[in-house]
Structure 1
Amino acid sequence: MECSIKEDWLAEEVDRRGQILDAAFEEFSTKGFKGATIKSIAGAAGLQSPALIYWYFPDKEALFDAVLHTHAPLRTTVDDPASMMDRPPEEVLPEIARAYFATVNNPVSQRMMKLLVGEAMRRPGLADMLGRATAAKVLGFLKQYLSRQVELGRLRPHDVRSGARAFVGMLIPQAAGKIVFPALREDDLTDEEHLKTAIGIFLEGLRPKD
């Protein structure tokens, strides 16, 4: 009986946290980071008191970070770096690229990104938070991963800081065509076509010399 009560309580906690995250995502994607308040998020989540949100998240920044994590496959992909470090780049880099495209292909995520990018340009503090929440984590993973591949002899020695930026930079134009520059899509280049060619060029430039 006691075990059943505990399981029911845990299930209720998970459901409520999920409700808060769903409501926060809608609020952030509609109103932006500044416009979405703890009070408005609590109302959208059907909570009796905004204070209940602080039971799950210490502040709005932590809630925002959790929303990004939940709705960004790319963040989830790099959350367990240890399991990927020894896998070959021919496997790992396409996974990263596909997770990146999966994020920008979601229409609701596109709406949120457009709004937040616009806000970030006007508010340096938000830009810094967004950078730490996503860009820094992804680049940090890539730097670690490329360093490990150099150690394993699969890639030649190079400045992995630049290597990580170069890899992400090769993906950005494909994503930009879906978010801010529709003209870039006029050539009908698919995500798979782009990542296959881009990753091939990237790896060819870093192959160890015989």
Structure 2
Amino acid sequence: MARPRPQRRRSGGGGAPQGRANRHSGPLGQSLARLSEDELYRLVEEIPDILLLILDGVQDPHNLGACLRTADGAGVTAIITPRHQSAPVTETVVRIACGGAENVPVVQVANLARCMERLREDFGIRIVGTSDRATADLYESDLTGPLAFAMGSEEKGIRRLTEENCNELVRIPMLGGVECLNVSNATAVCLFESVRQRTLGE
């Protein structure tokens, strides 16, 4: 049985407790999880063995929605995206996410490289990026402990600065004729390999 995700998103009246996601009922008619960058850092301090997802420039709403759904299933605390050149949380995203947008906050940051640097240096988060150029195999990497996966855009993958702020680059081994998976499928493979490793022996 997968370990339960820490309860850190629900908030009562009078505002969200420190380090917890706000819920915002907006024009989408949904109760969407919201989290500021500062609140994200507080959560990182509070939750041991936290699992985060960084999406670098994912602009397709269907892929973002699928990533949200997968992230919710894998117990991800938050998704981090750059404020610009990323898909916003639209009605399409919410529909594809099937509840994930209500449970997993998308944290939009002004400077993704700086955010990643803080996560690594100030909070000890190990960041694992995916790249076709990587020589290390996903299944040979230790994916336990405080961790963030960095996944790139559909066309270009992760950017240079994003790659430079990763502790490790891994590849998903491909055995057939296709060279790579799309970002939502690759995200599912990576997150649930981490879940598998984290729940061994439970």
Q: Tell me whether the two structures share a fold, i.e. TM-score over 0.5.
A: no
Say which structure is richer in helix.
1
With structure 1 as the length reference, what TM-score do the two structures score? 0.27
With structure 2 as the length reference, what TM-score do the two structures score? 0.28
Higher relative contact order (CA 8 A, sep 6+): 2
When Rg is computed on C-alpha atoms for both structures, the one with the higher figure is 1
